[in-house]
Amino acid sequence: MGKKPITAKKSTPPKKDSTQTNKEQVNNTKTPEKRKITTKGSINKKKSTSTKKKEPKEKLNSLKILKKSPYLKHSTSVQKNKKVLTLKELFENNLVDKKENKMEIILTGQYQKVIELIMETDAANLTPILVGPPGVGKTTLCRYYAQIRAEITGNDSFEWLTFDESTKPSHLVGSFNPAITIQKGFLFDAFNPGPLTKAMLMGGVFLANEINRATEYTQNSLLEPLEERMISIPHIGRIKASPGFFFIGAMNPSELVGTHRLGEALKDRFNVWIELDYPKKQTEIKIIEHNNPYFKIEEGLLEKIYLLVNRTRTHHQIQIPASLRSGITMARLTGINISKNQKLNSNKILGEVANYVLAGSIQPKPGIKAKDIVRSIITQVIGTS
Ligand SMILES: Nc1ncnc2c1ncn2[C@@H]1O[C@H](COP(=O)(O)OP(=O)(O)O)[C@@H](O)[C@H]1O
Ligand SMILES: [Mg+2]
């Protein structure tokens, strides 16, 4: 049995979710009517109606949701113009065009203030660092800032690296391709510049994400670029940054597990410390709505979602509370479930969804069960569990 080809159509991209980046579409060639889901979950061509098994009602409902979902819509719209695309073609089609993929974000409350501060720091040729718990929007803000900066300067160079224990200075600086180095020696042609070297050469923005997860050894390799705006490339020499090079740091507060302390020397290189916290109610609700463009839910439910996540942030038994992502996830799942069955009680749906989402997104203090805390928060906010 041969594999089913992957087909896709290049034209008419679907309506874009602002957070979405992929423009292309991939799908099996068979139309949904010609397929049936086997018990093993694989998709086979229907043989005859007499062999058709009765599907449980819930399963059929879920199938309808898949057909209705705008997130999967391009999968069905490609079926008119069947054309087998190679992986290379898919790669080329899916390459993100920065100009077409403008991101939009909510810029009220702290977010407006932070963008302004980053802008002022950049204009004064200083170095900022964003500090805040996971999921408050640090990375989103930096990416957005790089975009608006590009609109003004015409230079859209933006590089970033998320640090962890295994990040080495060579991941920042770059490395030599062994085969070319053997042939040509340690020349620039054999060198693959890393993201920091690229940003420095191009006078662009470099985001050092989760910078305090890096070891001190790697943190120290940032001193030269920050202090002297130069970087040493082994065997080649030192290069200086082009005008416009702007380094932004981002990190979670160092009390959180899994982070190293930021070394004193590196700490001193950051001039402006920008703190981000969980946003105020109206801003968070706007962010949730913004990231749930298709399955809208009513204001009252949005408020309850906010209350659910907010309670995790004030709860004395929780070490790491729910982030903005949890609210966004609950809104999407609740919206989908309501559209699946309008007759169900929307509070009950949210209660169920919250169980699935919150238990995994909070970290309770030692000895406390996440499930128990989640159940009590749901009962407080919704009245059911
Ligand atoms: N101002 C904002 N406008 C729209 N969406 C936001 C905003 N801030 C955060 N988000 C959303 O919240 C989620 C977490 O943001 P992220 O930048 O990854 O947080 P962090 O880097 O602090 O962990 C993302 O899904 C992002 O889209
Ligand atoms: Mg981040």
In this prediction the pTM is 0.81
Q: Which CATH code of 3.90.1150.10, 3.40.50.300, 3.40.309.10, 3.40.30.10 fits the domain covering 110-275?
A: 3.40.50.300
The mean pLDDT of the chain is: 84
CB 305, CB 345: distance < 8 Å: no
Residue from 260, 37, 250 nearest 161 by CA = 250
Is the CB of 27 within 6 Å of ligand 1?
A: no
Considering all CA atoms of the chain, what is the largest pairwise distance in Å, rounded to the nearest integer?
Answer: 77
Can you give the C-alpha Rg of the chain in angstroms?
25
Distance of alpha carbon 355 from alpha carbon 185, whole angstroms: 59
Question: What does the alpha-carbon distance between residue 365 and residue 368 come to, in Å, rounded to a whole number?
Answer: 6
Same fold, 110-275 and 281-381: no
Residue 145, φ and ψ in degrees, nearest 5: -60, -45
The model's pLDDT over 265-305, given as tens digits with 9 standing for 90+, comes to 899 999 999 999 999 999 999 999 999 999 999 999 999 99
Shortest-distance ligand to the CA of residue 320:
1
83 CA distance to ligand 2 centroid (A)? 38
Domain residues of the chain, as ranges?
1-96, 110-275, 281-381
Q: Give the rounded percent of residues in the chain with a pLDDT score beyond 70.
A: 80
32 forms bridges with which residues in the sheet? none
Would the CB of 20 count as within 6 Å of ligand 1?
no
Weakest-pLDDT range from 6-10, 210-214, 274-278, 342-346: 6-10
- Ligand at shortest distance from the CA of 143: 1
Strand order, beta sheet including 128-131? 158-162, 205-209, 246-251, 128-131, 272-275
93-118 mean pLDDT: 90
Measured from the CB, is residue 19 less than 6 Å from ligand 1?
Answer: yes
- Residue 253's pLDDT is 87
Report the pLDDT value the prediction gives residue 73, as an integer from 0 to 100. Answer: 75
User: Among candidates 297, 321, 325, 300, which has minimal Cα distance to 311?
Assistant: 321
Element (H, E) at 78: none
For residue range 171-195, list pLDDT tens digits in order.
999 999 999 999 999 999 999 999 9
Rounded Cα distance, 182 and 172, in Å: 23
Rounded-to-integer distance, Cα 310 and Cα 324, Å: 10
Reduce the DSSP state of residue 306 to 3 states and report it.
helix
Residue owning the nearest CA to atom 4 of ligand 1:
105
pLDDT at 61 over 70: no
How many angstroms separate the Cα of 52 from the Cα of each of 41, 85, 184?
A: 15, 32, 65
Q: Which of 37-46, 81-90, 263-272, 339-348 has the highest mean pLDDT?
A: 263-272
Fold topology of 281-381: Helicase, Ruva Protein; domain 3 (1.10.8)
**Residue 82 contacts by C-beta under 8 Å, 6 or more apart in sequence?**
7, 29
Per-residue pLDDT, averaged over 237-244, amounts to 96
